Amino acid sequence: MPKKILIKNALIVTMNPALDSFKGDILVSANRIEQIAEHIPANDNLVFNAEGYIVTPGLIQTHIHLCQTLFRNLADDLLLLDWLKEKIWPFEAAHQPDTLRLSAQLGLSELLKSGTTTILDMGTVHHQDVIFEELTKSGIRAFAGKTMMDYGKIPAGLNEKTHHSIDESVRLLKKWDNSANGRIRYAFAPRFAISCSDELLIETGRLAKEHNTLFHTHASENPGELELVKKRFGLRNIEVFDKLGFAKENLCLAHCIWLDENEKQLLKAQEIKVLHCPSSNLKLGSGIAAIPEYLKRGIHVSIGADGAPCNNNLDIFTEMRLAALIQKPANGPKAMPALDVFKLATINGAETLGLKDEVGSIEKGKKADLTFIKLNQVHSIPFDNVYSKLVYSTKADDVEHVMIDGQWIVRDKKVLTIDEKQIFANIEHAVKICTT
Ligand code: GUN
Ligand code: FE
């Protein structure tokens, strides 16, 4: 029997229903939290001294594009539809298995080093097995799926036949869903309404329900996108999804900036999930989603960095800080307090993914996904409210260790599962393949 790991003397931010934070110990047995208390006797457990660290639930990002990490800093200062047509789609169309692998490794290194332990990822059209291979090797917890595109003006290299897109998604689901001891799940990912046929959207909605998994897409990110939706369907995004029959609690929608009253009511009534991406929304000039209002209405919201070329990082601490700050000029300084923001990155993320009994808080019986953050840094002391410290002054680089599913994945800032040297050695060549 492998020994249990006893994490001692940490400042534990549990995110349990009582929102307890205290100095104490966590006992990890295999991949689960066996006990959490102010003092747990060492016995013959392996002791990890976490004095000087905050230990939080592993952080959760519900909207990522690992396939785009290779395009960081190469697609700046454009509006969404130009950004997609001029840069992102041609780049994605040029991906080969090896470039996609490198893109995923690069993104995963950054995510893991900065304390993200669970993601919902949208892949590209082809070679999705490669992303699943890298997710598996990296040790991260993930929902992922190939993006689906079968309609409208899209590059030939990404344009699929409807049935092929669906068949390939189902093949991938059968191969990867619930693999790696349940750490890897499949999520269907039609890209957005305007790149998908009605048939593809309807059938995907049916399949996502049949297989008890997520329907992940983009919606109402940009006024130009909304105009195209209205022109084609005579309806707004959420109304389209409702009419086509998949506006349900497994529907995960990135952005949701440009919504009317009826759409907001649909989000609430049908328990649809909003995936908030503050950096991306600012950088693409898309707008600011009314997150404080959504939360007040009881709409589910979680958070993600989106892809590297619209951010240009995948660092959840930047996302959290921005999620708070961008709301304050219009809504006053009390809008989006630090605790509400930290919930987006923990328990709300878990709820979005249907994982609220497994991750998102440090509680007995949950999976051992933990992020260890340096407590005393000159940029983050002093503090009395730990959520203020985590959201407003902690930096990604303060993360030193990460455990996922009871395994050490990052130790002393080094990702144990990914060879960074190999990324540095190959990145230039890979970028050339995709961008020239
Ligand atoms: N809408 C459709 N595709 C994309 C994408 O790749 N990124 C963003 N931000 N929005 C999209
Ligand atoms: Fe996106």
DSSP per residue over 376-395, as a string? --TTT---S-HHHIIIII--
Pocket perturbation via mutation, ligand 1, pick of 61, 62, 81, 192 by most ligand atoms within 8 A of CB: 192
The answer to whether 320 touches 391, Cβ cutoff 8 Å, is yes
Fold for the domain defined by 5-57+361-415: Urease, subunit C; domain 1 (2.30.40)
C-alpha 237: how far from its chain's center? 22
Containing 229, the helix (H) or strand (E) segment is helix 223-233
Query: Nearest ligand to the C-alpha of residue 253?
Result: 2
pLDDT score of 176: 98
Q: At what angle do helices 162-176 and 198-210 cross, to 10 degrees?
A: 20
Residues, the chain, total? 436
How does the average pLDDT of the chain come out, rounded?
Answer: 98
| Boundaries of every domain in the chain | 5-57+361-415, 59-352
- Residue 2, pLDDT > 90, answer no
Residues, beta carbon < 5 Å, ion ligand 2: 254, 306
pLDDT in tens, 220-263: 999 999 999 999 999 999 999 999 999 999 999 999 999 999 99
Cα–Cα–Cα angle for 353, 178, 166, rounded to 5 degrees: 80
Which structure tokens are listed for 240? 């389209």
Q: Whose CA is nearest to atom 5 of ligand 1?
A: 84
Out of 229, 253, 306, mutate this one to test ligand 1's pocket (max ligand atoms within 8 Å of CB): namely 306
Residue entry with tokens 């939360």: 295
Same CATH fold assignment for domains 5-57+361-415 and 59-352: no
335 DSSP assignment: S
Contact yes or no for 83/92 (Cβ under 8 A): no
Ligand 1, CB cutoff 6 Å, lining residues: 65, 80, 84, 88, 191-192, 218, 221, 280, 306-307, 310
- Measured CA to CA, the distance from residue 214 to residue 209 in angstroms comes to 8
Superfamily of domain covering 59-352: Metal-dependent hydrolases (3.20.20.140)
Residue of 110, 144, 70, 26 whose CA lies nearest to 317: 110
Pick the closest to residue 10 from 46, 45, 32, 37 (CA basis): 37
> How much of the chain exceeds pLDDT 90, in percent?
100
Give the pLDDT confidence of 81-99 residue by residue, as tens digits.
999 999 999 999 999 999 9
Is the confidence at residue 1, as pLDDT, over 90?
no
- Is 409 a residue whose pLDDT tops 80? yes
Indicate the residue type of 33: I
pLDDT in tens, 147-193: 999 999 999 999 999 999 999 999 999 999 999 999 999 999 999 99
